Amino acid sequence: MNHSRRDFLHKFALSSLALPILPSFATEHTRWLRTQPQGPVLRVALLGLGGYAKRVADAMNACQRAKITGLISGTPSKLQTWGELYHVAEKNRYTYADIDDLKNNPDIDAVYVLTPNALHHEHVIRAAKAGKHVICEKPMAVGVREGKEMVAACASAGVKLLIGYRMRFEPNTLDVVRRRMEGTLGPINFFQGQCGFKIGDPNQWRLDKQLAGGGALMDIGIYAINGARYMVGEDPIWVTAQETKTDFNKFKDGVDETIQFQLGFPSGAVASCLSTYAMNFLDRFYLNGEKGFAELWPATGYGPIKGKTNTGTLTFPHIAHQTIQMDEMARILLDGAVPTLAVDGQVGLQDLQIIEAIYQACQTGRRQDIDFS
């Protein structure tokens, strides 16, 4: 690992703070990651105990600045099982009906909302009114109006709202960002983002318009949208898009199967992206500049992320993304740290504004200007 990359992680990727390191990564190449500044621990309640929440919970076992101190679920048996597994006191286990009671619990600093998309709005606002910082999974809501209300509610309550954009903390991703920021790739011309997989169970909530707010674009295409923004280093000003649907039984009205979309940026750079629930082996980012290129493939999966540039292979070791994310979010919430790539509610709201413009472009067949007001 060269010194420039090492310095970058210390200076940019982790807000001048070193990453936590799992024992299995204790090698010569990663030993420098062990240095961990001391500080208070973020006490987190997980709201919604589904499959992704389990991944977050397991990854948090390796965190040094964040730990699980609360659980919120509509399923009593989950509260019992998870409480025993993650050593959460019974007094810190809540049902959805009890969210408002969090205001009386000093053992919890923040609530991580991990429920289906359509429930984020209610859960974020209730957690904020209870005086807790909020971390919300992406997409932050099913529409712009709800997103704005969530941002406003957190501001009114005097708490912070962060969105679970784990890739904005991932070391290989941040090394590409560093290269772009330093100008080693030259002016950026083009970004390509391919995000997709074949979705399974046709009865799952991700294929329910009322719970998901859409289809593949809301779930997986958002990675290409968000990735285009941090890879290019600009926010898009227009979009064109085309929708393709081959399975009308699985993908009902309002649930997109495949969307191709193109973004235009103020500098003149353009992006070409694909979002789909119908094809596997699509997890690739490619960034083209006048002096070089960068590629991440896989780019957004749970890892390991692999990458290369015109000067060689990216070699940062894999650490569970959620481990890095939660330790870094602890620094944001408790220390006031400023991350290289923002993960606040405004970033999540802007993604929703882009998503709405993409859907509008699909419906009208016309280019849409993107309104961030």
Domain membership of residue 2 (yes or no) is no
11 carries an active-site annotation: no
User: CA 224 → CA 88, 208, 229, 230, 231, distances in Å?
Assistant: 36, 22, 9, 10, 10
Dihedral angle, C-alpha 195, 200, 203, 209, nearest 10 °: 10
Check whether the bond before 139 is cis (ω within 30° of 0).
yes
User: The domain spanning residue 84 has which CATH number?
Assistant: 3.40.50.720
> Domain check: are 228 and 87 in the same one?
no
Evaluate whether residue 150 is within a structural domain: yes
Is residue 76 domain-resident? yes
The answer to the question of residue 45 being in a domain is yes
Same domain, 229 and 104: no
Residues 147 and 283 in one domain: no
C-beta atoms surrounding 336 within 10 Å? 9
141 or 19, higher pLDDT: 141
Supply 370's token pair: 């993107």
Taking 70 as the threshold, does the pLDDT of residue 197 lie above it? yes
Active site residue 138: yes
- Give 109-128 pLDDT, tens digit per residue: 999 999 999 999 999 999 99
Q: How many domains does the chain have?
A: 2
| pTM reported for the whole predicted model | 0.91
Looking at the structure, do residues 201 and 66 belong to the same domain, yes or no? no
Among 132, 138, 160, 250, the one annotated catalytic: 138
Among candidate residues 94, 112, 223, 277, the one labeled active-site is 223
Whether 366 shows a pLDDT value over 80: the answer reads: yes
Torsion sign (Cα): 81, 86, 92, 95: negative
Same structural domain, 88 and 159: yes
Co-location of 159 and 255 in the same domain? no
- Work out the pLDDT band at 37, boundaries 50, 70, 90: low
d(CA 64, CA 56): 14
| Domain membership flag for residue 337 | no
Alpha-carbon distances of 163 from 51, 88, 134, 160, 309, rounded to whole Å:
18, 24, 8, 10, 29
Are residues 135 and 166 in contact, defined by beta-carbon separation less than 8 angstroms? no
Residue 130 has pLDDT above 50, yes or no: yes
Q: What is the pLDDT of residues 170-195, one digit of tens each?
A: 999 999 999 999 999 999 999 999 99
Please indicate, yes or no, if residue 282 is contained in any of the structural domains. Answer: yes
Strand (E) or helix (H) holding 329:
helix 321-330
The Cα–Cα gap between 31 and 28 comes to 5
Q: Is residue 302 part of a domain?
A: no
- pLDDT band of 38, cuts 50, 70, 90: confident
Quote the domain boundaries for residue 275: 187-290+343-369
**294, 298, 299, 301 alpha-carbon torsion, rounded to 10°:** -170
Average of per-residue pLDDT values in the chain: 92
Q: pLDDT per residue over 327-356, tens digit each?
A: 999 999 999 999 999 999 999 999 999 999
pLDDT of amino acid 21: 31
User: Do residues 289 and 232 lie in contact, with contact meaning Cβ atoms separated by under 8 Å?
Assistant: no
According to the model, what pLDDT value does residue 255 have? 98
Is 66 part of a structural domain of the chain? Answer: yes
CA distance between the termini of the chain: 43
